[in-house]
Structure 1
């Protein structure tokens, strides 16, 4: 009896908290008058990329180049750990790092940022109240958002997006069309820039293996569910080491990959910056990955890819299946969906078939 009573109280508290958050969000989103989109007054565009992870940032990288080609000035708002991916991009005029909550210095920077158009490519999430505060600080002339109800007045233009099975990059096609820039889905390309020193170092290392094919292997993702087990990883490395014409380079978080046992023809990447991984993917022959950031890198350089996904849905809107939203999305990629919602259930023999097929054709 007491347990049922406690469960009812908890349920009521959850409903109250949700209602309170919704009220706060509505208050934050309120503004007296919305503006109409006038492209003749749009010059400086700000893209909100703070909510997105590293893989998402790679996908977003294609947008500034298109905007820049049309004469727009581009500012990227990002989290500090992703800023390096944008800082060398000549199509981006300004990169601003933001924290949650905003610091006083960041608040001042936003206050004086000139912004004609603010683009938020994401749906409503737990991050929305923070994004609304950012918009309020900037006070852009016009804002574009996705799928928000009309009660949220902070977005002047709301794009109704229901392509639940489409790739994340399709959102940018919708945005570009909204501002009269016509781009086909196949024409949207990721656009990465980094200092030449990373290529020079990688080229020096790979020069020792000129008669070998190079495979980049990423066995671990950001979550355990999407990662291989230690036994699987070792079995895959043993498998790959049996190919005499192949050098496999394992990339990923050092604290995980450094624990792996050495195998013939297998190297554990010791180069610490992510740009070394970018360069390794750029210079390799093919990629095997459970990590979507490496998947999107492979897309950027059009590399043959065997990708392993675990079935997932968006926690805020289960109509979006992440296997589709963040799929490789190019012709040279193979996408394997692991059974039972985890990479640990994948039969390695399936992976071996694809490796054999690639190495013998």
Structure 2
């Protein structure tokens, strides 16, 4: 049965690839690249079809600046990103994307422009653009596809992802001085977080986000235990919370550590909002912390992006003053020595607070936990 499933998946991939090439060829015969005047196209649809939370947080930079210039901005995305955007009142509408969805409602909007931020150009995406029938399609590295009226060349290993967004804004003659992301708030989730933590304004909360979207970027249980033990010694009055889906982060639980039941992405946002310090792997929490300007220690490996091969630790770096990034040399973050992480935490906690400098505490705690775990 497993062999038949594998064969069927391969067959379907090949068929989709062939359909994509045929559709691209046909569309190239139908379209002539005559870029319209963008300032006359007032209703804009942003595509974030893969439902990646970090990508969506960064996209709020473009969405907000377009909205501030009087454009009506809507977003087509998945359910997780839809939750993130629910408090963003500068957006016109949020549409939830499903494969083979009806486009009647979207077509009725008569979008002037569609902005596609991804490098992907598969059959489903091309078919979607064709059926939407917008006055203008904007994409990246799509020069061979004439359905894109503007194809912005951008494959730069040394520039942050926000450089792409600045290129889009420049098409509309918008040149922001600062790079900021713009998240709304969720009063219900904020109340849930404060109730779970028994939180009062002025108390210290430290959030640890141990998991990402890829196993090679995740913290190990041993690393998280070392972080918690160090925080218990250096900041005994701080409330420690593990962010993430409760079923997935349950293994990181410990005495005095809070995991908030029924957590959603908006629970994480409201947790980060009140946190004195956020300690995270390479995932959306990094960009949420950026949006809320929270102290952040972010731990990355040197993995390269699947679609482009560009270095993710550069393209998706935290990219703001209150953040510190640690890039480990080990392919798996879980295999990296925890000492560097603890030293990074110490630097934050001691910043301007007059707390004692004691790197030996971090090293000894890490060694004790490794010994107890048989490592």
Same fold (TM over 0.5): yes
Match status 1:75 vs 2:74 = yes
Segments of 5+ residues of structure 1 without an aligned counterpart are 1-13
**How far off is 1:18 after superposition?**
6.0
Which of 232, 242, 247 lines up with 2:239 in the alignment? 247
Determine the C-alpha separation between the residues in 1 that align with 2:212 and 2:194: 26
Match status 1:58 vs 2:57 = yes
Determine the C-alpha separation between the residues in 1 that align with 2:282 and 2:31: 44
Tell me the SS of whatever aligns to 1:353: helix
Q: TM-score, normalised by structure 2?
A: 0.83
Q: TM-score, normalised by structure 1?
A: 0.86
**How far off is 1:323 after superposition?**
0.8
Tell me the SS of whatever aligns to 1:245: coil
Which of 295, 310, 315 lines up with 1:325 in the alignment? 315
Determine the C-alpha separation between the residues in 1 that align with 2:267 and 2:312: 27
Match status 1:129 vs 2:123 = yes
CA contact (8 A) 1:226 1:342 kept: yes
- What does 1:290-309 correspond to in 2, within 5 Å? 290-309=281-300
- What does 1:109-120 correspond to in 2, within 5 Å? 109-120=105-116
Determine the C-alpha separation between the residues in 1 that align with 2:24 and 2:51: 20
Q: Deviations over 1:197-220 (max 9, x none)?
A: 222343445555667521100111
Tell me the SS of whatever aligns to 2:168: helix
Q: What is the count of residue pairs matched by the alignment?
A: 338
Determine the C-alpha separation between the residues in 2 that align with 1:143 and 1:242: 55
Instruction: Assess, with a 3 A threshold, how the Cα gap between structure 1 residues 136 and 66 changes in structure 2: closer, same or farther.
Output: same
* Structure-2 residue corresponding to 1:281: 272
Which of 159, 166, 170 lines up with 1:166 in the alignment? 159
CA contact (8 A) 1:44 1:73 kept: yes
* Structure-2 residue corresponding to 1:26: 25
Instruction: Assess, with a 3 A threshold, how the Cα gap between structure 1 residues 209 and 267 changes in structure 2: closer, same or farther.
Output: farther
Determine the C-alpha separation between the residues in 1 that align with 2:297 and 2:253: 23
Determine the C-alpha separation between the residues in 2 that align with 1:193 and 1:148: 32
Moved more, 206-215 or 301-310: 206-215
Which of 324, 330, 340 lines up with 1:350 in the alignment? 340
**How far off is 1:262 after superposition?**
1.7
CA contact (8 A) 1:166 1:325 kept: yes
CA contact (8 A) 2:39 2:172 kept: no
**How far off is 1:37 after superposition?**
2.3
Tell me the SS of whatever aligns to 2:344: helix
- What does 1:226-265 correspond to in 2, within 5 Å? 226-243=217-234, 244-264=236-256
Tell me the SS of whatever aligns to 1:215: strand
Determine the C-alpha separation between the residues in 1 that align with 2:300 and 2:71: 37
Determine the C-alpha separation between the residues in 2 that align with 1:138 and 1:24: 15
Instruction: Assess, with a 3 A threshold, how the Cα gap between structure 1 residues 35 and 252 changes in structure 2: closer, same or farther.
Output: same
**How far off is 1:234 after superposition?**
2.4
- What does 1:86-97 correspond to in 2, within 5 Å? 86-97=85-96
Determine the C-alpha separation between the residues in 1 that align with 2:253 and 2:193: 23
Determine the C-alpha separation between the residues in 2 that align with 1:80 and 1:52: 7
- What does 1:139-218 correspond to in 2, within 5 Å? 139-149=133-143, 151-184=144-177, 187-206=178-197, 208=199, 212-218=203-209
Tell me the SS of whatever aligns to 2:252: coil
Tell me the SS of whatever aligns to 1:256: helix
Tell me the SS of whatever aligns to 1:307: strand
